Structure 1
Amino acid sequence: MSQVLAATGIGVRFGGVRALDGVDLAVHGGEVCGLIGPNGAGKTTLFDVVSGIRRPDEGRVLLDGRDISRRSPVWRARHGMRRTFQRQQLFGQLTVADNLLVAQEWRGGRRKLAGRRSRAAAVLRECGLDALADSYAGVLPVGQARMAELARALADPPRVLLLDEPASGMSGEERGQLAVVVRHLADEEGCAVLLVEHNVAFVMELCSRVVVLDLGTVLAEGDAADVRENPAVRDAYLGTAAST
């Protein structure tokens, strides 16, 4: 698998507090990489840096080996980077289908509208949302809204997908559907997926590799089994639940 996304030596300061300190991270095509850690570890700050919302004080972000550290979020999105957020960012007064059309709007052209609609319909079917295409996004239950936000991120095919707590508020069945969609995206389409999630069992089952942040630094990295058994990770985050 080729390396698609890399963050090297990332440092971010908020006044006298170092939110990230020399963080290195890489995600390969076809890989689902989990990013876990206690609250305040720096996970969302790292997502902000990678997606271009925040510029780091030190370090670089690379996409397919190209330094994109000074590129805008819009530029990154148009070059295949997609992101979801902890707090849902759907357009509540639009239908679910229209949310997906908006994500493709930048491609323009009325003559291409039929193609965008076809793509939106296919993604909604894949995400189990086709029956909700004409429902307003603002009235969806949390689990369906999370899936709709994922569908919007997939409407324009991603090269890199950043998922920030996508399973929060989902039922067990919805998490299963989420896992199927994400695994298909990685396995069949070669997308590089970076996933932040507090549901450790979900992360360990879905992700081929896990990175643990603590106090702004990388505490551990490896496959799920190795990370689960790491004593430092247990002490910092997993606690006694790791052995249950």
Structure 2
Amino acid sequence: MNESVLEASGIGVRFGGVRALHDVRIAVRAGEVCGLIGPNGAGKTTLFDVLSGIRPPDAGRVLLDRTDVTRRSPAWRARHGMRRTFQRQQLFGQLTVAENLVVAQEGGRWRRGGSARARARAAEVLSVCGLSELAGAYPGALPVGLARMAELARALAAPPRVLLLDEPASGMTDGERQQLAAVVRRLAADEECGVLLVEHDVGFVMDLCSRVVVLDLGELLAEGSPADVRADPAVRDAYLGTTESGPAASAECDPPSPR
């Protein structure tokens, strides 16, 4: 079994008197696609903020390739192989899609054209993501689904060790979701990247992920294969009983995290 590229244990976060996370543990192995699901307010986005370094936990620690990164910055984690996408588009609107990928490889600094190596890698990633024809487009002109795919492409511009995807399929067409799933599977299988994704489309999660973690009220409710999680009575009572019989839940409603 592959070793974990990302581990968190004993994670606790409070917003004033509100306990957002309590004693949460999670691990993502190299080459694995792991899903993180749960009701609105369960703590999923807060956990992503802790894992990516946006919010330090009040308790617990985070390891990246067995190195303690609990107090390391998001930029440090990115330089050492952690990438994240967000619910809201984070692309630079004044740069083209291809230029966004070049900047992502050059430490966020833009110099016109970028290096030949960065441009070649950008073209390769755009091809994998089915975006080659949109290389010269500006993010603001793209439909939501394609903009999300472009943000995924930017996260892959420098090959990641672990990828955190926050609502990646939101706003996508069926065809775009299939493309997204294909890219994620290829990334895990061919490059042994560990992938952790938050997604309210339960069917998408169950089809794509080999393991699923469920949060409820800031605590770990269940963990296992998609079949085991789907059959768990506690999970059905807390979450799947509503999401699988009706429309997917709305966007995550964790307490706001400071940016």
The interval holding the TM-score normalised by the smaller chain is over 0.9
- Whether 1:169 and 2:146 are equivalent positions in the alignment is no
Q: Which amino acid is the alignment partner of residue 99 of structure 1?
A: N
- How far 1:106 moved relative to its partner? 2.1
Q: Which amino acid is the alignment partner of residue 104 of structure 1?
A: Q
Instruction: State the Cα deviation string for residues 27-66 of structure 1 (Å, max 9, x = none).
Output: 0000000000011000000000000000000000001111
- Whether 1:12 and 2:6 are equivalent positions in the alignment is no
Match of 2:120 in 1: 118
Contact 1:91 1:138 in 2 (8 A): no
Q: Which amino acid is the alignment partner of residue 194 of structure 1?
A: L
Match of 2:162 in 1: 160
Distance 2:85 2:215 in 1: 20
Aligned residues: 244
Match of 1:92 in 2: 93
Report the 3-state secondary structure (helix = DSSP H, G, I; strand = E; otherwise coil) of the residue aligned with 2:215: strand
Distance 2:171 2:149 in 1: 11
Question: Among residues 119, 139, 142, which one is paired with 2:141 in the alignment?
Answer: 139
Q: Which amino acid is the alignment partner of residue 210 of structure 2?
A: S
Q: Which blocks of at least 5 consecutive residues in structure 1 are unaligned?
A: none
Distance 1:137 1:57 in 2: 36
Distance 1:107 1:145 in 2: 19
Distance 2:39 2:240 in 1: 9
Distance 1:109 1:211 in 2: 38
Distance 1:168 1:106 in 2: 28
Question: Among residues 109, 130, 145, which one is paired with 1:128 in the alignment?
Answer: 130
Closer, same or farther: CA 241–70 of 1 in aligned 2, 3 Å: closer
- Is the helix fraction higher in 1 or 2? 1
Distance 2:240 2:32 in 1: 23
Closer, same or farther: CA 155–13 of 1 in aligned 2, 3 Å: same
Report the 3-state secondary structure (helix = DSSP H, G, I; strand = E; otherwise coil) of the residue aligned with 1:168: coil
Q: Which blocks of at least 5 consecutive residues in structure 2 are unaligned?
A: 247-259
Distance 1:107 1:147 in 2: 19
More off after superposition, 29-38 vs 86-95: 86-95
- Whether 1:223 and 2:222 are equivalent positions in the alignment is no
- Whether 1:36 and 2:37 are equivalent positions in the alignment is yes
Q: Which amino acid is the alignment partner of residue 96 of structure 1?
A: V
Contact 2:5 2:64 in 1 (8 A): yes
Q: Which amino acid is the alignment partner of residue 237 of structure 1?
A: Y
- Whether 1:182 and 2:184 are equivalent positions in the alignment is yes
- Whether 1:205 and 2:207 are equivalent positions in the alignment is yes
Closer, same or farther: CA 108–138 of 1 in aligned 2, 3 Å: closer
The TM-score with structure 2 as length reference comes to 0.91
- Structure 2 matches for 1:38-57, cutoff 5 A? 38-57=39-58
Match of 2:253 in 1: none
Q: Which runs of 4+ in 1 moved over 4 A?
A: 107-112, 240-244
**Percent same amino acid at aligned positions?**
74
Report the 3-state secondary structure (helix = DSSP H, G, I; strand = E; otherwise coil) of the residue aligned with 1:33: strand
Contact 1:27 1:194 in 2 (8 A): yes
